Amino acid sequence: MPQPRKPRVEGKVIVVTGAAQGIGFACARLLAEEGASVVLSDVKQPEGEAAAARIAADGLKARFVRADVTSESDCAALMAEAARPTGRIDGLLNNAGWYPRATLEQTTSDFWDQIQNVNLRGPFYCCKHAAPHLRAAGGGSIVNVGSLNGIQGLPNLVAYSAAKGGLLSLTRTLAGALAHDRIRVNYLIPGWVLTEGEIALHAKTGVTLEALKKQGETLALGRHQTPEDSAWAALYLLSDESVQVTGTILNVDAGGSTLPVQPGAPYLG
């Protein structure tokens, strides 16, 4: 008789930032369903607490710890609290991000700093303070949620593209620096996902959900990605199935990188 399938991250403690909604929440839920004890974190406390409660209500292991990833002390406290019950952290998903648009001329010094702080400084702080716990656990996995814009960029996402490009460089650097500790570090590109934030961002400029869906039909595989698409990829990278995978890019963009980038294109993945 077929044997029951073993959960893919059973017993692992995994921290997910930006987990109150969208990709982060989908990843947290799937990781919990696959046996992990998930620590959801977000700067939005009521929403984050509600997200963790929704997962825990299904009998899964999930709790919330508020943290602002732009604060090093918050990130250090987050990792310490995540490790407190079991004495270990096995995985980190750096998902927290922010992607308002601005061209080169529109980008002020303050705007530049805000984008870099959330999208690059935040993952750096989280990696820095998670690494000792991962090392103490005998190794583990860090997944940095990146972007196609970190590779080829868009004219109206100058600061964001630079930050995600920096995150890719950080990923590859840490993959080499931490390999001897059996800590793997990889870069996940979600593609163009219609999260709550993405839909709201376009609504401000008069772009309807129906119009967005039609644009998604022009992608190589014919639709936008869902948060769950990214979650399955993150699960692989955080599981022991990818034990020999580090310093790489896992692209879940439905072929978006195979298409030419047009100025003013809506893709923000």
For residue 223, name the pLDDT band (cuts at 50, 70, 90): confident
* Confidence at residue 28, expressed as pLDDT on a 0 to 100 scale: 98
Please give the tally of structural domains in the chain: 1
Q: Flag whether 6 is in a domain.
A: no
- The share of the chain scoring above pLDDT 70, in percent, equals 95
* Confidence at residue 258, expressed as pLDDT on a 0 to 100 scale: 72
Tokens of 174: 């840490």
Mean pLDDT of the region 171-197: 94
Measured N-to-C along each axis, helices 196-203 and 209-216 cross at an angle, to the nearest 10 degrees, of 110
* Per-residue pLDDT reduced to its tens digit, 47-69: 999 999 999 999 999 999 999 99
If one compares 261 and 227, the residue with the highest pLDDT of the two is 227
Q: Flag whether 2 is in a domain.
A: no
* Confidence at residue 261, expressed as pLDDT on a 0 to 100 scale: 53
If one compares 235 and 6, the residue with the highest pLDDT of the two is 235
Q: Flag whether 97 is in a domain.
A: yes
Respond yes or no: is residue 160 known to be catalytic: yes
Could you say which DSSP state residue 193 is in? Answer: B
Could you say which DSSP state residue 170 is in? Answer: H
Q: Flag whether 104 is in a domain.
A: yes
Q: Is the Cβ–Cβ distance between 237 and 145 less than 8 Å? A: no
Domain boundaries, position 130:
13-190+226-255
* Confidence at residue 199, expressed as pLDDT on a 0 to 100 scale: 85
Q: Which residues have a Cβ under 8 Å from the Cβ of 235 and sit 6 or more positions away?
A: 8, 9, 27, 30, 31, 34
**pTM to 2 decimal places:** 0.93
Give the Cα separation of 155 and 149 in Å (integer).
10
Scored b (16 or more CB within 10 A) or e, 232-256 reads ebbbbbbbeebeeebbbbbbbbbeb
Give the Cα separation of 124 and 175 in Å (integer).
13
Mean pLDDT of the region 216-221: 84
* Confidence at residue 259, expressed as pLDDT on a 0 to 100 scale: 64
- Could you say which of 99, 125, 160, 267 is catalytic? 160
Element (H or E) spanning 172, and its range?
Answer: helix 158-177
Which of 192, 161, 183 has its CA nearest to residue 237?
183
Q: Flag whether 216 is in a domain.
A: no
Q: Flag whether 132 is in a domain.
A: yes
Q: Flag whether 215 is in a domain.
A: no
If one compares 99 and 15, the residue with the highest pLDDT of the two is 15
Assign residue 102 the CATH number of its domain: 3.40.50.720
